């Protein structure tokens, strides 16, 4: 088998530089295994070699995140590894965050990373999607049980062997939904699940419902006649021809379109890019989705101060919540910066 | 009352001088069927093509897939109230041409949806890749409205299936299944020891190309109602939707509705299947409240211990799904939901647009946002050009070598929420 190169990331303590008094040290690179690396050496598959160890103080890493990340990234690159092992960090919060960040840096370089953490370590929640985190106890006393699992996972990743589910491989769920084929078709699985539920037996839902954000409505704007009001839609209204190529479903971006001097959205100039509803009525009169005409009338009557000279538009159809959150955050920042006091959000 | 369903297994599909079943081959008289379909004044052009499993063929955009069936004890075709005279479906005898389907394609109103690949990775994700398909490429006359266009294509597919179904009228089936239909109270007397189970069958009804029909009635305009499980087998429910093709139910899905068939197969063994409620997925809150209230009422009225609730589509109907779940659970009746997921291309996003703490049992048909690359095919039936603008397509998805990268969303039936497939998603 071809030789596989592994790099280890450790904090000052496991890197054998010192305790809390050495937590301020900047990243250092060694071309040999150190600390837990010595234990891992005997547990890794024969073709895997720990070619180097990067050590950084926990305080330094967390207080100089950008600089530490850049330096550690360079050091990883110099070793040209197949896999990065960070930690294990057990329940040490700052160490866990550093290991998670190292995992993210590696994953962005296309290098898989493995760590070990106690499930409540904040590094798990923040970084679990970027690396494989083996579940450990809450202190270094569980080093002996953690290392074999870390070595096994790192070995599989180094040799590009397929990985099983978190339960099969002993890593904490990364929160990544992957498609697989089940043994039975869905209707039959539903019946099995219902019978188990009815009989009070254990069953496993195929999708655990996450905690949903419930946002309290903001207080009403005290005086609309002085307010600048903006229109934001997930109904897909765009200038004709959809210049930004916003997708009919699963939108990856949104558009910002000037309506300065536009009294009404007309069918010759605007249309919908949305694939999830009957587009006929929206295309006939785009104001039905983005009511520029009605707001211009209110502006004339003095009921609102003014209409913000741009509207924002994306397609809600099949768009992931993660993308929607990102769009919303960017749009909200822009609107706040430009002095908008109220927004009408139109959906379809 | 009973329904006898006789399956006639078809191993090949060919054009021939007359439309008939001979030696497990379905022969189709191309000219006769074309002429039959062109009687619709809204259609300008109809072309027929045949494809078989394993061929290097891509069909796109697909509007509907229909299984040819006939009732030998009735004159005329199935799909009562839609393209045939009215009768109550699900009783008597039905002959099924198993292994073939009618696939409708051609220019479709608005977005051009739905891919079927007859071979390659796309074929593993699509149930219709395993069938011998008679593909109808149809284009409308100038000046039809989008609504007339959609209706013409929908009815054309059903008429073609009925035309083929006629060939099964006097053929002896290879296998027959009998379904007994009883008055409601008998179900409660018959298997006192078995759990009583019902099915809540949610039907897409959000507007043009997102509609479903029940005996010809637009489901937007129904209130939830009870059906006998066998009614679907004679085409009581017809699809009028194909946008975001992965989780839209074709007419074929309804004819072979999996929860209904699997509940019937287990009826009297480990459960007692009491009845089914169909309901809609309209877009306004008032409609959602009305339909979920009345669905929960009917389920309670059936006196069951548990229900399976299947969704059609995603996003907006996730709300209908959760309202149905919550209201039924609050009556002390246990639920299992069948849905699919939109977890983003990387699988890290929240999968559903709505949730309820009572939705503790969910079956997933897979992540529709997951990407798949489909290699170039030797032949495309229909039109490949819209591939970057269909739901599931994106700019740059079409490569110079003819291959296309799309979300599963673009493949018709890939993440079906009636539980038709084995695909699911797990957390890694």
Phi/psi of residue B74, nearest 5 degrees: -125, 150
Distance CA A345, CA A312 (A): 10
Q: Which residues in chain B touch residue A272, judged by CB atoms under 8 angstroms apart?
A: none
Average pLDDT of the residues of chain A? 94
Contact assessment for residue B255 and residue B232, using Cβ atoms and an 8 Å cutoff: yes
- pLDDT, tens digit, for every residue of B52-88? 999 999 999 999 999 999 999 999 999 999 999 999 9
- In this predicted structure, the answer to whether residue B251 has a pLDDT above a threshold of 90 is yes
Mean pLDDT (whole number) for A25-52: 96
Domain boundaries, chain B: 2-410
Model confidence at B110, pLDDT cuts 50, 70, 90, reads low
What pLDDT does residue A210 have? 82
Q: Which residues in chain A touch residue B335, judged by CB atoms under 8 angstroms apart?
A: 194
What pLDDT does residue A215 have? 81
What pLDDT does residue A347 have? 84
Residues 166-185 of A with CB under 8 A from B: 166, 173-185
Contact assessment for residue B407 and residue A169, using Cβ atoms and an 8 Å cutoff: no
Average pLDDT of the residues of chain B? 95
What pLDDT does residue B112 have? 67
- In this predicted structure, the answer to whether residue B287 has a pLDDT above a threshold of 90 is yes
Helix (H) or strand (E) segment spanning residue A186: helix A186-198
Distance (Å) from the alpha carbon of A57 to chain B's nearest alpha carbon? 31
Q: Which residues in chain A touch residue B418, judged by CB atoms under 8 angstroms apart?
A: 186-187
- pLDDT, tens digit, for every residue of B291-348? 999 999 999 999 999 999 999 999 899 999 999 999 999 999 999 999 999 999 999 8
Label the pairing between strands B225-227 and B217-218.
Answer: unpaired
- Name which of A128, A169, A207, A242 to mutate to probe chain B: the one with the most chain B Cβ atoms within 10 A of its Cβ: A207
User: Taking each helix axis from N to C terminus, what angle separates B285-302 and B316-329, rounded to the nearest 10 degrees?
Assistant: 40
- pLDDT, tens digit, for every residue of A211-230? 777 788 889 999 999 999 99
* Cα A239 to Cα A343, B69, B152, distances in angstroms: 20, 47, 31
- pLDDT, tens digit, for every residue of A102-124? 999 999 999 999 999 999 999 99
Q: Which residues in chain A touch residue B350, judged by CB atoms under 8 angstroms apart?
A: 210, 320-322
- For B418, the closest chain A residue by CA position comes to A187
Q: Are A199 and B355 a contacting pair at CB < 8 A?
A: no
Contact assessment for residue A234 and residue B353, using Cβ atoms and an 8 Å cutoff: no
Mean pLDDT (whole number) for A46-73: 96
- In this predicted structure, the answer to whether residue A335 has a pLDDT above a threshold of 80 is yes
End-to-end CA distance of chain A: 57
Higher pLDDT, A166 or A54: A54
Q: Which residues in chain B touch residue A174, judged by CB atoms under 8 angstroms apart?
A: 427-428
Q: What CATH number labels A4-169?
A: 3.40.50.2300
How many CB atoms lie under 10 A from the CB of residue A37? 22
Catalytic residues of B: 242
Mean pLDDT (whole number) for B173-198: 95
Distance (Å) from the alpha carbon of A203 to chain B's nearest alpha carbon? 8
- For A207, the closest chain B residue by CA position comes to B362
Domain boundaries, chain A: 4-169, 224-346
DSSP string, A323-339: HHHHHHHHHHHHHHHTT
- pLDDT, tens digit, for every residue of B354-402? 999 999 999 999 999 999 999 999 999 998 888 887 888 888 889 999 8
What pLDDT does residue B108 have? 78
Q: Are B424 and A206 a contacting pair at CB < 8 A?
A: yes
Q: Are B419 and A186 a contacting pair at CB < 8 A?
A: yes
Q: Are B347 and A195 a contacting pair at CB < 8 A?
A: no
Q: Are B352 and A318 a contacting pair at CB < 8 A?
A: no
The answer to which of A284-293, B153-162, B242-251 has the lowest mean pLDDT is B242-251
Peptide bond into B247 cis (omega under 30): no
């Amino acid at each position: 088998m071809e030789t596989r190169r592994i790099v280890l990331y450790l904090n000052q303590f496991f890197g054998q530089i010192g305790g809390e008094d050495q937590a301020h040290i900047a990243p250092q690179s060694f071309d040999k295994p150190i600390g837990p690396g010595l234990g891992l050496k005997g547990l890794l598959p024969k073709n895997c070699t720990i070619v180097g160890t990067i050590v950084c103080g926990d305080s330094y890493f967390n207080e100089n995140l950008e600089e530490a990340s850049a330096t550690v990234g360079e050091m990883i690159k110099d070793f040209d590894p197949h896999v990065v092992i960070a930690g294990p960090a057990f329940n040490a919060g700052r160490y866990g965050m550093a290991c998670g960040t190292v995992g993210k840096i590696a994953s962005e370089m296309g290098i898989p990373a493995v760590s070990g953490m106690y499930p409540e370590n904040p590094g798990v929640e923040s970084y679990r999607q970027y690396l494989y985190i083996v579940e450990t106890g809450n202190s270094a006393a569980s080093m002996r049980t953690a290392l074999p699992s870390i070595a096994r996972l790192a070995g599989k990743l180094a040799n590009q062997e397929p990985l099983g589910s978190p339960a099969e491989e002993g890593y904490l769920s990364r929160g990544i939904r992957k498609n697989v084929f089940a043994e039975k078709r869905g209707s039959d699985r539903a019946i099995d699940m219902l019978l188990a539920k009815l009989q009070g037996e254990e069953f496993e839902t195929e999708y655990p419902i996450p905690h949903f954000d419930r946002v309290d409505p903001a207080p009403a704007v005290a005086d609309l006649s002085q307010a600048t009001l903006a229109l934001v839609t997930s109904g897909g209204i765009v200038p004709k021809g959809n210049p930004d190529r916003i997708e009919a479903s699963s939108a990856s971006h949104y558009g910002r379109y000037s309506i300065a001097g536009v009294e009404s959205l007309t069918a010759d100039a605007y249309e919908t890019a949305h694939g999830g509803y009957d587009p006929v009525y929206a295309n006939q009169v785009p104001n039905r989705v983005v009511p520029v005409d009605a707001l211009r009338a209110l502006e004339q009557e003095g009921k609102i101060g003014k209409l913000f000279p741009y509207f924002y538009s994306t397609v809600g159809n099949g768009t992931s919540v993660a993308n929607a959150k990102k769009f919303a955050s960017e749009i909200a920042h822009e609107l706040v910066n430009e002095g908008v006091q109220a927004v009408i959000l139109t959906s379809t | 009352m009973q329904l006898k369903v006789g399956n006639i297994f078809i191993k090949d599909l060919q054009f021939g001088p007359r439309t008939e079943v001979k030696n497990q081959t379905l022969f189709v008289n191309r000219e006769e069927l074309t002429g039959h379909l062109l009687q619709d004044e809204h259609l300008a052009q109809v072309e027929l093509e045949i494809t078989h499993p394993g061929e290097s063929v891509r069909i796109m955009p697909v509007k509907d897939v229909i299984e040819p069936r006939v009732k030998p004890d009735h004159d005329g075709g199935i799909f009562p109230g839609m393209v045939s005279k009215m009768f109550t479906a699900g009783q008597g005898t039905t002959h099924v041409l198993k292994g073939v389907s009618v696939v409708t394609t051609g220019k479709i109103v608005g977005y051009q949806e739905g891919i079927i690949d007859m071979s390659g990775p796309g074929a593993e994700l699509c149930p219709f890749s395993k069938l011998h398909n008679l593909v109808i490429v149809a284009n409308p006359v100038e000046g039809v409205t989008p609504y007339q266009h959609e209706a013409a294509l929908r009815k054309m597919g059903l008429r073609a299936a009925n035309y083929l179904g006629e060939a099964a009228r006097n053929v002896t089936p290879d296998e027959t299944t009998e379904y007994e239909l009883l008055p409601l109270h008998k179900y409660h007397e018959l298997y006192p020891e078995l759990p009583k189970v019902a099915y809540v069958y949610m039907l897409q009804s959000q507007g043009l190309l997102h509609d479903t029909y029940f005996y010809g009635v637009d489901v937007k305009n129904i209130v939830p109602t009870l059906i006998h499980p066998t009614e679907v087998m004679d085409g009581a429910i017809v699809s009028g939707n194909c946008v975001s093709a992965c989780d839209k139910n074709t007419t074929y899905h309804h004819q072979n509705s999996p929860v209904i068939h699997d509940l019937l197969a287990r009826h009297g063994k480990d459960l007692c299947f009491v009845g089914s409620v169909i309901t809609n997925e309209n877009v306004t809150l008032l409609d959602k409240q009305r339909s979920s209230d009345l669905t929960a009422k009917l389920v309670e009225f059936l006196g069951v211990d548990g229900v399976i609730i299947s969704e059609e589509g995603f996003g907006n109907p996730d709300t209908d799904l959760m309202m149905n779940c919550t209201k039924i659970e609050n009556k002390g009746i246990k639920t299992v939901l069948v849905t699919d997921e939109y977890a983003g291309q990387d699988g890290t996003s929240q999968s559903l647009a709505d949730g309820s703490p009572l939705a503790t049992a969910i079956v997933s048909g897979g992540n529709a946002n997951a990407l798949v690359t489909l290699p170039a095919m030797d032949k495309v039936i229909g039109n490949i050009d819209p591939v970057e603008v269909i739901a599931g397509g994106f700019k740059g998805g079409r490569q110079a070598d003819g291959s296309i990268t799309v979300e599963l969303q673009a493949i018709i039936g890939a993440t079906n929420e009636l539980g038709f497939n084995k695909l699911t998603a797990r957390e890694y």
